[in-house]
Structure 1
Amino acid sequence: MLWLLISTYVLGALVPGFGIRIRGLSAGTVTFPLGATAEASMPAFMLGFLLTVAGLATDVGQLKRVARKPTLVWLGLAANTLWPIAFTTMIAFVLRLWSNDVEAQSLLVGLAMAGAMPVAGASATWSQNAEGNIALSLAVVLGSTIASPLLTPLVLHAVAGVTHGDYSEDLDELAQGTAIAFVVLAVVLPSLLGLVLRQVLGARRIGRVMPALKAANLVVLLLLNYSNASLALPGIFRLSNWNFVVLTAVVTACMCAGGFVAGWAMAKRLGAERRDRISITFALGMSNNGSGLVLASSALADHPLVLLPLVLYNLAQQCGAGIVDTVLRRRASPTTSDEERGTRPPAA
């Protein structure tokens, strides 16, 4: 999957024309109460399709397993919000030494867009593969998605305080309406639609069509990544200052790695069992970066460098998830009990 994603980025950089045309397709603007608006663009529809399928695949019944012990869910949501703010604030002081202010501000805004998005649904898949607590993973993903109209503006406002000029104003404007309208239209509503359809149609019927939906999901995901890359990468590859590209790669990798480490450390500090630590680790290390790319490419088109941190963060979190999965598997003892490895369902 990682190589497929990299291929879409290469294709977007070399042959961007079709991707740009896709981005130009729109069904108009949706107006929400209090005047907030969001564009019903093709990328937003593609993102909505991905999240609807994710909702269809979510077994809400598993969430009952964490209903009596929601502490890790709440702490996971809090940490997922506070870590990007803390990291970006720290990096803002370091970037005062960077000679190009436009690049420094673009990097900060890109980090804000990545950190403000809800937890990626893919974190539940990685958690399940690593024998984590899938019920806890689903609870954190669903909780962050539903709470995103509140949490996303919080992160954007916080980072606006450590940026300046047009960049700070853009973050505040996004937090005051555009970002809320976007996450409701392209993130929350599609996710809830998938959950509702699963309850109405039943798991058995959904299971029959899920293989076809997963195939379509892969095609849409790659097409969305190609479209985002078509807008971001051609201009970036023409940069004369490759030092900025290297800086962005290092900073985004550090932010992503810090999320994984913070998740494991927090859960371990609380005395959580191994399978719960795995779930929280993937949740804090992976954000729904596709949402950030779609929002940034439409709302911050006048700041194209903002897209570079989002593109590189997407690669970093996929690589990071693979590394964490490998480390967890190597550290798992052959004598580890079934309950510790997550193969036995937790007691009611």
Structure 2
Amino acid sequence: MMIRMVGTVQRWLLALMIVCYLLAAVVPRPGEVLRTVALPVLGSGSSVTMPMILLAVTLSTAGLGVRVRDLRTVLGRPVRLASGVAVNALLPVVLLPVAALCLRAWPDAAEVECLAVGLLLVLAMPIADGAASWGQNAGGNVPLVVAMVVGSTMLSPVTVPWGLTVSAALVGPAGVGSLDDTARIDGLAGTAGAAAFALALIVLPCLAGIIARAVVGERRTTRAAPVVKLVNLVNILLLCYVNASGALGQALSHPDPDFMILAVGVAGVVCCLSFLAGRWISRWTRCDTPDGISLTFATGMNNTSAAAVLAASWFAHRPQVLLPILAYSLLQKLAAGLFGTRAAAPPAAQA
């Protein structure tokens, strides 16, 4: 019964996410209240918000799904693993300036800046744990994509601040000029910003899940898997609702159809370019079909939940920053379904 329920929720996850977005737009108040809930961290003077807790739960349950023996099988081919992690980390410095150049003609500079910041936060995030399940469904090399997710996650305290700093410089006043003021991004990229966020809410929860699986054992973990997956799916949907409640509620109360269309369109183009970059690199490096699928999904899918939580924390005064992030979250799942049905051909078939 539980397994059937989990399978049903997984099949309808995208539709349920859209429902959560609609609820956030029509009934945003509960989500806005949940976003303000904060628990103090003893001895630090700081607090942990509800979106942060939900994000940590999501990543810890993702860690529970990682088998250490699968990671060991990938270490014999480190080039494939390194290429996926490296390409994902380089995406913001490659794609964001291109998007910023295309947006220069848009008449509203404030809207362009919100789009640039939202895309910057998404592209700087590590590989989404959902890349493993999408890659598996498409016939990819599951241990390889799992290793890419773990490697990208563990390196995120370094790669996220680096991506934010370099990308902000490229699209700031000294670069393309889409960001008039990069001071907040620079502050976010500092030690107390993105690095601490990535370590506390991305790396440590994932490690906790991996360690818990090793301690509990494979047999008990397998028995508990349906319950853990169901809890994770509910947690993901609640996080979607909470993240979207502020931005979409304001979007309806102060409608701006032009900006919404622009946010969806630009997020869709950047998302497709991310997947295409992975597809091209898999062909250029002559990956076999399973490895090529894994590289494509690792390159194309970023942790949008982490980006949304970070945006809500650092850019609460500009809720429009969340719109391209929320759009990207849905669109990358649509793109994953599209690219999953058009797997890369093996090198021998490409001649």
TM-score, normalised on structure 1? Answer: 0.90
Give the 3 Å change call, closer, same or farther, for CA 240–222 of structure 1 in structure 2: closer
Counterpart pick for 1:229 among 225, 244, 257 = 244
Once the two structures are TM-superposed, the CA of residue 326 in structure 1 deviates from its matched residue by 2.3
Once the two structures are TM-superposed, the CA of residue 236 in structure 1 deviates from its matched residue by 1.9
Q: Is the 8 A contact 2:149 2:298 kept in 1?
A: yes
Specify the SS of the correspondent of 2:246.
Answer: helix
- Confirm whether residue 318 of structure 1 aligns to residue 330 of structure 2: no
- Confirm whether residue 189 of structure 1 aligns to residue 167 of structure 2: no
Q: Is the 8 A contact 1:66 1:135 kept in 2?
A: yes
Q: Which residue of 1 aligns with 2:183?
A: 169
Once the two structures are TM-superposed, the CA of residue 242 in structure 1 deviates from its matched residue by 1.5
Q: Which residue of 1 aligns with 2:6?
A: none
Give the 3 Å change call, closer, same or farther, for CA 210–38 of structure 1 in structure 2: farther
Once the two structures are TM-superposed, the CA of residue 31 in structure 1 deviates from its matched residue by 8.1
Q: Which residue of 1 aligns with 2:139?
A: 131
Counterpart pick for 1:111 among 99, 103, 119 = 119
Once the two structures are TM-superposed, the CA of residue 163 in structure 1 deviates from its matched residue by 2.9
The Cα RMSD (Å) is 1.9
Specify the SS of the correspondent of 2:282.
Answer: helix
Displacement over 6 Å in runs of 4+: none
Q: Which residue of 1 aligns with 2:31?
A: 19
Q: Which residue of 2 aligns with 1:159?
A: 167
Unpaired runs of 5+ residues, structure 2, are 1-12, 174-178
Specify the SS of the correspondent of 2:187.
Answer: helix
Q: Is the 8 A contact 1:54 1:194 kept in 2?
A: yes
Once the two structures are TM-superposed, the CA of residue 84 in structure 1 deviates from its matched residue by 2.2
Once the two structures are TM-superposed, the CA of residue 28 in structure 1 deviates from its matched residue by 2.2
Residue 188 of structure 2 aligns with an amino acid whose one-letter code is L
Distance in 2 (CA, whole Å) between partners of 1:232 and 1:280 is 32
Once the two structures are TM-superposed, the CA of residue 255 in structure 1 deviates from its matched residue by 1.0
Q: Which residue of 2 aligns with 1:52?
A: 60
Once the two structures are TM-superposed, the CA of residue 38 in structure 1 deviates from its matched residue by 6.6
Q: Which residue of 2 aligns with 1:343?
A: none
Q: Which residue of 1 aligns with 2:3?
A: none
Distance in 2 (CA, whole Å) between partners of 1:73 and 1:189 is 21
Specify the SS of the correspondent of 1:209.
Answer: helix
Q: How many residues align?
A: 328
Distance in 1 (CA, whole Å) between partners of 2:49 and 2:299 is 29
Distance in 2 (CA, whole Å) between partners of 1:133 and 1:123 is 11
Give the 3 Å change call, closer, same or farther, for CA 240–208 of structure 1 in structure 2: closer
Give the 3 Å change call, closer, same or farther, for CA 245–31 of structure 1 in structure 2: farther
Q: Is the 8 A contact 1:105 1:167 kept in 2?
A: no
Distance in 1 (CA, whole Å) between partners of 2:255 and 2:325 is 20
Specify the SS of the correspondent of 2:155.
Answer: helix
Q: Is the 8 A contact 1:44 1:294 kept in 2?
A: yes
Q: Is the 8 A contact 2:113 2:180 kept in 1?
A: no
What does 1:1-348 align with in structure 2 at a 5 Å threshold?
1-29=13-41, 39-161=47-169, 162-164=171-173, 167-176=181-190, 177-328=192-343
Q: Per-residue displacement from partner, 1:284-313 (whole Å, max 9, x unpaired)?
A: 111110000011111111111110110000
Distance in 2 (CA, whole Å) between partners of 1:205 and 1:16 is 39
Residue 197 of structure 2 aligns with an amino acid whose one-letter code is F
Distance in 1 (CA, whole Å) between partners of 2:42 and 2:186 is 20
Specify the SS of the correspondent of 1:97.
Answer: coil
Distance in 1 (CA, whole Å) between partners of 2:83 and 2:105 is 34
Residue 245 of structure 2 aligns with an amino acid whose one-letter code is S
Give the 3 Å change call, closer, same or farther, for CA 158–237 of structure 1 in structure 2: farther
Q: Per-residue displacement from partner, 1:242-288 (whole Å, max 9, x unpaired)?
A: 22211111111111111111111101111111100000001111111
Identity %: 38
Residue 123 of structure 1 aligns with an amino acid whose one-letter code is A
Residue 172 of structure 2 aligns with an amino acid whose one-letter code is T
Q: Which residue of 1 aligns with 2:10?
A: none
Distance in 2 (CA, whole Å) between partners of 1:12 and 1:63 is 38
Q: Is the 8 A contact 2:52 2:201 kept in 1?
A: yes
Once the two structures are TM-superposed, the CA of residue 178 in structure 1 deviates from its matched residue by 1.2
TM-score, normalised on structure 2? Answer: 0.89
Unpaired runs of 5+ residues, structure 1, are 341-348
Distance in 1 (CA, whole Å) between partners of 2:55 and 2:261 is 29
Residue 163 of structure 1 aligns with an amino acid whose one-letter code is G
Specify the SS of the correspondent of 1:58.
Answer: coil
Once the two structures are TM-superposed, the CA of residue 93 in structure 1 deviates from its matched residue by 2.0
Once the two structures are TM-superposed, the CA of residue 241 in structure 1 deviates from its matched residue by 3.4
Distance in 1 (CA, whole Å) between partners of 2:254 and 2:87 is 35
Q: Per-residue displacement from partner, 1:31-74 (whole Å, max 9, x unpaired)?
A: 88xxxx97411111111111111111111101112111111111
Q: Is the 8 A contact 1:30 1:40 kept in 2?
A: no
Specify the SS of the correspondent of 2:23.
Answer: helix
